[in-house]
Structure 1
């Protein structure tokens, strides 16, 4: 992979690092806000603190790091130069103030000018990102299912942002014809299935076999996954808009599960046919993330049943479902892939031109393995304690679990700093 990563200008390299670093700060802030929101987590999902936390997780922690990774990986996946080196900076300048305007206004719940400005800035930033992706894809001569996943996911992200902005203005003007919670449910699943799921499948199905050195890749399964996941999402949006959660949702869930099953079989075949037998911590986190996604999927029929019966447990399990996706599936995947992709990005920048000329470190030598282990162990402890504590209605277990998440986020951020600020020590010894 290292030889295939293109070198970028100083500006683009710094921009990629900024995305990773600020995303890491958002992860730490997310853990802190969780600690102050224990009571809110046990209530209804439509409350100011949970809205702030969810959007910080989705945008600041998840989307921001994906943007940064895409600017480096798109040229590799699509085998062409990035459409523009200026547009990503414009996206970043719009995204950051928009993010913190939105998070702050949700936390204190002031649905006025700050919330509206945040929504408009974020939507504008997402539009420019989508333009970068689509124009880069148009330049590419490669025809692959990975390309379709990435382009489609960016379009879904724009749709998610547009609906979210409408909801922000609806707080003040109340112009939407249906219940606000109904639109919120559609908005959330457009982001989860349309943006995160589509992009993660498209990128991971290129990176996983690359990291594992897999001999067999069943690409036809990815095509089935692409069409089935998109079909399920479209059916959910149409049916959900007119009828809400009902018996049709069971059928739509089956379509989604069929699409995800194709993806899971593809990944399993990559693992089974791998030449690299030893699994490192980042890959183990990928396995953990898929396990947490599977657990969340098991909850869907329970949520549908509880909602159709208007059972109070529907809200309880819906919050658990959302936390499994944001703090489980997405978080584990980001924490794993960050230390597979970013070390290569830094290594290519600092060492590729020296390859074969003198002894140089490997990408895995650029960060602390001890911090990576601490991050991994504390995150697993968080998953066990927090999720079990939520199901058992135990605030003590949840608080201890969030304490573990704080440790994990600090270890993650410190390791990012070590990686970003890495200096070639061997070169200084040679000079001496």
Structure 2
């Protein structure tokens, strides 16, 4: 059974705020699948191709960041007891700005439109900065600073770093330094986005949701206390070393050597999470756990690929090397964990909000669906199988794009259609039950 005694919805935002973020994510995934389906092999030529950059941002900004933003707006008041100020206005405005900004950014990559690029940077800058300010205020107001809160604080700072560097790269301000220097800066931008923002936030959220939803033991105390701060500081040092290498103050190999010290932290997180899942008290198969397991194995796989690429010049000079890393980290680790989170967070929030309303109204005539009834195991399992197939096809497309790229796009498209449908059904059941409870309240007042 879930332990909800320490959770509070007193200051939580209306459920429509996180729901809009969660529903938007698979729509961006759908567009990503459509892009793969139409353009296929051309997206696997090089990571620098404009369409490939567009595809990358469809998933990182449109899917991963979207879900993380929605989850953070909901979890801060529920888990940390600190509401985001003006959360309804902030949630609606940030969602609109980030959604339109991400769409325009992808459009600018594909079409080369300078107007779309300028508009996208303005909207994304405004949306992410507003999100940062609002969430930072909430995080600073937290009275009991847990390890999850610490990781959230560091992740939000990483999000700001990612934004600032992305704006500088996208605006062309840094173009004067030449491509040889731009490439390392893009790596820093990607590092702060994937390892900093998404990685640190995932680690912090895991401390709460893995034991709660997957019924596992707690993460080790030393890990909860030190992992996120150490990784954050390691990324800061890595960034300084990268800048020093760009200006020829140190050798290019030094930042790479330093990253050999950073990666084991993420590998440790993946191994410990897998170990905790083996020790779970509930032995019934669970789709969320399967999604997380793929995510953890993808982290280990991507780490191994990076290590091989940095000890073998043959692998490092292959165009497939960075593409394989991208598929492993973004489509493997990121998308799988986000899918797993949605299949627990959406039913849980729906059930928890409705249960609280039912108890406050003392209405036992309206039955609140249990978590399994919001999204059936069968529907989730079908989508999981399709997602796994799409991931294998994406890996295959890295080596044989002319054979597998179009098929990978079709299956990834189908996976996101199924995810969107499952989320819509869950939210529809929430609103139907909520309307019945509201009708009961009105009838009781008569």
TM-score greater than 0.5 by the shorter chain: yes
Q: Does 1:196 align with 2:205?
A: no
Distance 1:108 1:350, change over 3 A: same
Gap runs ≥5 in structure 2: 441-446
Residue number among 247, 259, 283 corresponding to 2:289 in the alignment: 283
- Greater CA drift, 199-208 or 269-278: 269-278
Query: Deviation digits for residues 188-210 of structure 1, max 9, x if unmatched?
Result: 11111111101111111211011
Aligned in 2, Cα 1:397/1:191: closer, same or farther, shift over 3 Å? same
Q: Which residue of 2 aligns with 1:53?
A: 55
> Does the residue aligned with 2:310 lie in a helix, a strand or coil?
helix
Alpha carbons 2:298, 2:328 under 8 Å: kept: yes
- Check if 1:259 corresponds to 2:265: yes
Equivalence for 2:149: 147
Match of residue 426 from structure 2? 419
Residue 28 of structure 1 and its aligned partner are, at CA, apart by 0.8
Which residue matches 2:444? none
Give how far 1:62 is off. Answer: 0.9
Structure 1 unaligned blocks of 5 or more: none
Indicate how the Cα distance of structure 1 residues 203 and 271 shifts in structure 2: closer, same or farther if over 3 A, else same.
Answer: same
Q: Contact 1:88/1:132 (CA < 8 Å) preserved in 2?
A: no
**Aligned pairs (5 A) from 1:282-321:** 282-306=288-312, 312-313=317-318, 315-321=319-325
Q: How many Å separate the matches in 1 of 2:193 and 2:436? A: 46
Is residue 2:185 matched to residue 1:183? yes
Once the two structures are TM-superposed, the CA of residue 400 in structure 1 deviates from its matched residue by 2.6
Q: 1:250-292 CA deviation, whole Å, 9 max, x = no partner?
A: 4323322332244235424533443223241011111111111
Once residues 309 and 368 of structure 1 are traced to their aligned partners in structure 2, the CA distance between those partners, rounded to angstroms, is: 47
Whether the 8 Å CA contact 1:83–1:139 is kept in 2: the answer is: no
Question: RMSD value over aligned CA atoms?
Answer: 2.7
For residue 370 of structure 2, the aligned residue among 362, 377, 384 is 362
Instruction: Answer yes or no: is the 8 Å Cα contact 2:379–2:422 preserved in 1.
Output: yes
Q: What TM-score do you get using the length of structure 1 for normalisation?
A: 0.90
**Structure 2 partner of 1:87:** 90
Structure-1 separation of matches of 2:97 and 2:85: 19
Structure of greater relative contact order (alpha carbons < 8 Å, 6+ residues apart): 2
Q: CA deviation at 1:299?
A: 0.8
CA contact (8 A) 2:383 2:418 kept: yes
In structure 2, C-alpha distance between the alignment counterparts of 1:240 and 1:268, rounded to whole Å: 32
- In structure 1, what is the Cα distance between the partners aligned to 2:269 and 2:298? 15
SS of the residue corresponding to residue 421 of structure 1 reads helix
Distance in 1, matches of 2:395 and 2:314, equals 25
Measured in 1, the distance between the counterparts of 2:381 and 2:9 equals 30
Answer yes or no: is the 8 Å Cα contact 2:30–2:413 preserved in 1: yes
Q: Which of 384, 395, 402 matches 2:402?
A: 395
Structure 1 residues 24, 309: CA separation in 2 closer, same or farther (over 3 Å shift)?
closer
Q: Which stretch shifts more, 243-252 or 113-122?
A: 243-252
